[in-house]
Amino acid sequence: MKLITKRAISMLWITVGALLASFSVASLLLPNDAIDYGTAGIAIIISKLTGLNLSLCVFFVVTPFLILGFIYMGRDFIIRAGWGSFVYMVGLAWFEELHVELNTEHFIAVAFGGAILGAGLSMILRFGGCIDGSEILANVGVDFMGKKFGKQLSMTSFLIGFNAVVYILAFFLIDKNSALLSLLVYIVATAVIDHFTDRFEAIKQVTIITKDPEEMINRIRHDLNKTCTVMDSQGAIAGENKTLICYVGYFELQRLREIIAEYKNRAFITVSTIDEIIK
């Protein structure tokens, strides 16, 4: 029952975050000649060039990335990501219909629009969701590079490269001022995201101290396809324990939290951010 409640709360916050993000794009950024970044930015460029409905463009652009996320990151992730993307698209259509357009000085619009967008995305990421296909692509790319070449890269390099393409397209296909304003949106939004999500692109080290590690290890291997380092440890009061160390990405962290929650009374857990793993 507790797990169901936690999942319901997660979906609620993802909903709120997606509505904030869609409000920022439809009511602040677009009326002031700025665009979103990532796959939403590509969808906006397509919509501006073709005149097609923005929500429909977002759907067609983000769907291949959601399929990729389902293949590589599993059902639980795609439920959150799919729901967040759906609410985001509905929010865009809704705010466009309401015509709540806050036309103001462009720099003010970029500052507040980027901050609101970052706040919305922070809520979504914090509770294991995602509405930007570029983040899915970056997560899959980092995982692939790690398994194929034993080289652990940061998601930042993938995201910067993807968004550089978006802004170059905006520069040449839409307007140079729009591209530069959109770059400021990216800087403001990512600064807010980093502040509230403890740098979601970094690797997370999860340390678990427990007396009964076997079932938890099996769940982590089966559900996340991750392994653990197991060490003997000694507690001053609890006595002999096992210490498990597991490294996961940000999008896998929410699922790991849910697994651990089932054994919470039998484990002590800490989560820390790792800048780099050298293999």
| Shared domain check, 173 and 220 | no
Number of domains comprising the chain: 2
| Shared domain check, 210 and 188 | no
CA 72 vs. chain centroid, Å, equals 15
- With a threshold of 0.85, does the pTM exceed it? no
Domain boundary among 197, 222, 241: 197
Name the DSSP class of 265.
Answer: G
Q: What is the CATH number of the domain that holds 243?
A: 3.30.70.120
Distance CA 90, CA 84 (A): 10
Helix (H) or strand (E) holding 245: strand 239-248
| Shared domain check, 228 and 120 | no
Q: Give residue-wise pLDDT tens across range 218-238.
A: 888 888 878 888 998 888 777
pLDDT in 10s for each residue of the chain, 279 residues = 666 787 888 899 999 999 999 999 998 899 888 888 899 999 999 999 999 999 999 999 999 999 988 888 778 888 999 999 999 999 999 998 887 767 667 788 888 999 999 999 999 988 888 888 888 888 788 777 766 666 666 677 788 889 999 999 999 988 888 888 888 999 999 888 888 776 666 778 899 988 888 888 888 888 887 888 899 888 877 778 889 999 887 777 877 887 887 776 677 888 888 776 666
Q: Give residue-wise pLDDT tens across range 118-137.
A: 999 999 988 888 888 888 88
β-sheet bridge partners, residue 205: 247, 272
Distance CA 46, CA 208 (A): 47
